[in-house]
């Protein structure tokens, strides 16, 4: 993401990013075996987290892999 504007606008945007991240995290936690701790560890890194099919299966992220 990117933020620019007044201090108040940036603070408001940061609050919205936090809200959206909570929505995403809750969805992932409720639909897989990934815990908040695992998500937090990956979110602290600068890079994106790419999950291959094997890892996705270990986390219960799909029912059947074709």
Q: Are 5 and 12 in contact (CB under 8 A)?
A: no
Supply the DSSP string of 8-52, one letter for each residue: HHHHHHHHHHHHHHHHHHHHHHHTSS--HHHHHHHHTSSS-----
Tell me what percent of the residues of the chain surpass a pLDDT of 70: 98
pLDDT tens sequence for the chain (66 residues): 677 889 999 999 999 999 999 999 999 999 999 999 999 999 998 788 899 999 999 999 998 888
Report whether 42 contacts 48 (CB < 8 A).
Answer: no
Question: Can you give the pLDDT at residue 47?
Answer: 84
Instruction: Give the global pTM.
Output: 0.77
Please report the pLDDT score of residue 2 as a whole number. 72
């Amino acid at each position: 993401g990117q933020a620019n504007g007044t201090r108040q606008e940036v603070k408001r945007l940061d609050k919205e990013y936090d809200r959206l991240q909570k929505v995403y995290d809750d969805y992932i936690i409720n639909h897989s075996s990934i815990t908040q701790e695992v998500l937090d560890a990956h979110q602290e890194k600068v890079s994106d987290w790419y999950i291959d099919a094997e890892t996705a299966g270990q986390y219960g992220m799909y029912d059947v892999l074709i």
